[in-house]
Amino acid sequence: MKTSTVIEVEEPIRPTEWKAVAQKQKGRNGSGAMNWLALRMLTGDRAKYTALIFAISFSAFLITQQASIFGGIMNRTRSQIVDVTDADVWVMDPATQYIDEVYALKDSAVGRVRSVPGVRWAVPFFKGLASAKAADGKFRSVILLGLDDGSLAGAPEPRKMLLGSIESLREPDAVFIDQSGYHFFFPGEPLQLGKTFEMNDHRAKVVGIVDASAPFTSFPVLYTRYSQALDYVGRQRKLLSFVLVKKAPGVSAGDLTHRIETDTGMKAVTSKQFGWMSIWYYMRHTGIPINFGLTVGIALIVGTVVAGQTFYLFTLENLKQFGALKAMGTTNLRLVGMILLQALVVGAIGYAVGMGLTATFFVVSRSDATRGFFMFWQAMVGTLGVVLFIVMVASLLSIRKVLVLEPAMVFRG
């Protein structure tokens, strides 16, 4: 029997022409079919393929989830700063390091700041803790924010008002409360204005319900007028926490903060700078970053080791096949391309699964307690980089093994 199937890949080539043919065939290496072949090799071994996907998904999930929660916690440390949208600059005692530990200023500080050229307006802003008691005796510390009586500067944005209006804060004993605080003091009740509770034996009447950013602590957030706030916490010699400043048109925030510091001796920072001051304080003085960093590090190591080892074993088990492909005329470059493709495919699938798991986690765990926790795009991008690192490390050993592979090994039984 003689086969009639004759496939001429090319016309016969004279020996002297081989160099030219080699040049001509550069780049024509059957990449489509060989890529398909690489993927068939990869997905054929279901157990290892699944293990690879699992290792990368697990790492991607853990890293994104932990990094996002860390980001959420750090964001919470500056939530009261972020919620003040109408001021450009915060002025404070030079000893102040972050928003939750305030060294009070003298009341005269407001006037001194107002006198600095480039200041459009400057108003007092109180930030402190008070004790609130509901009608049923429920008791809790609250974060109390006192806004300038005249301008109400520092009030929540109108879009954050779930019920009530900013102007209603001018009513006697008026307070805004954030949604989770309302649910704490009035559990199971629908959002409703007119509810009352007590702070320092003073009546507080809910005239607005706010979607305030979640604070670092889980305390309810209350807004009231500055004068009212002083009643709620009890009069002391110095109670002015911050001076909020709006810069005049054409003045840069950087110049203004410098001028305020020079002229008044107080510390002046932009809202953004103050936010980062608070974040860095928590980063430096708490074990939070170490704790989350450890988890992320372990996820990275476990992912790299498991994925690397599994991928390497996968290559070792296919070494004969790679050798046969080499013998049949597959170039090293093509084999490297095949391995990288395999690695990138498991990386992409693992990353996608990991992101899906993380998104599911944040949707399922959504509650008052987890306010402000969401998937940070920065965490997603960072995790993508980590996954790329994992698959590159995983494929590196395999690539080395295949590159040094003697094709003659296919003849060794």
Partner 1 sequence: MERAVVCQGITKWFGTGDAKVQALRGLDIEIGLGELAMLVGPSGCGKTTLISIIAGLLDATEGNLEVLGTRPTDLSQRAQILFRRKNLGFVFQQFNLLPTLTAAENVAVPLFVAGVDRRQAVEQASELLDELGLGDRLSYLPSNLSGGQQQRVAIARALIHNPQLIVCDEPTSALDAKTGHMVMEMFSEVAVRPDRAVIVVTHDSRIFEFADIITHMEDGRAVDVEQGRGIGHGLVRSLTSQSSDRPLIERTS
Q: How far apart are CA 190 and CA 165, in angstroms?
A: 18
Buried b (16+ CB within 10 A) or exposed e, 188-222: eeeeeeebebebeeeebebbbbbebbbbbeebbbb
Under DSSP, the state recorded for 9 is S
Which member of 131, 218, 331, 370 binds partner 1 (CB under 8 A)?
331
- Residue type for 219, please? F
> Between residues 41 and 355, which has the closer beta carbon with respect to partner 1?
41
Give the angle subtended at the CA of 103 by the CAs of 98 and 105, to the nearest 5°: 125
CA-to-CA distance for 70 and 52, rounded, in angstroms?
Answer: 27
> In the bound complex, what is the minimum distance in angstroms from residue 312's beta carbon to partner 1?
18
Contact between 28 and partner 1 by CB under 8 A: the answer reads yes
How many residues lie near partner 1 (CB under 8 A)? 48
Fill in the per-residue mask, 42 to 81: x = in contact with partner 1 (CB under 8 A), - = not in contact: -xxx------------------------------------
403 sits near partner 1 (criterion: CB under 8 A): no
Looking at 219-227, 249-257, 305-313, 323-331, which segment touches partner 1 (CB under 8 A)?
Answer: 323-331
Query: How wide is the angle at C-alpha 60 spanned by C-alphas 82 and 334, nearest 5°?
Result: 130
Instruction: Tell me the residue type at 11.
Output: E
Nearest approach, Cβ of 14 to partner 1 (angstroms)?
A: 8
Among 75, 224, 278, 330, binds partner 1 (CB under 8 A): 330
Alpha-carbon gap, residue 144 to 147, rounded angstroms = 10
Scanning 101-252, the segments in alpha helix (DSSP H) are: 108-114, 179-185, 226-233
The answer to the question of residue 321 lying near partner 1 (CB under 8 A) is: yes
Tokens of 135: 């009608």
Minimum CB separation of residue 79 from partner 1 in Å reads: 54
Q: Binding of partner 1 at residue 328 (CB under 8 A)?
A: yes
Residues of this chain that bind partner 1 (CB under 8 A):
1-10, 13, 15, 18-19, 21-22, 25-26, 28-30, 32-34, 36-37, 40-41, 43-45, 320-321, 323-325, 327-331, 406-408, 410-413
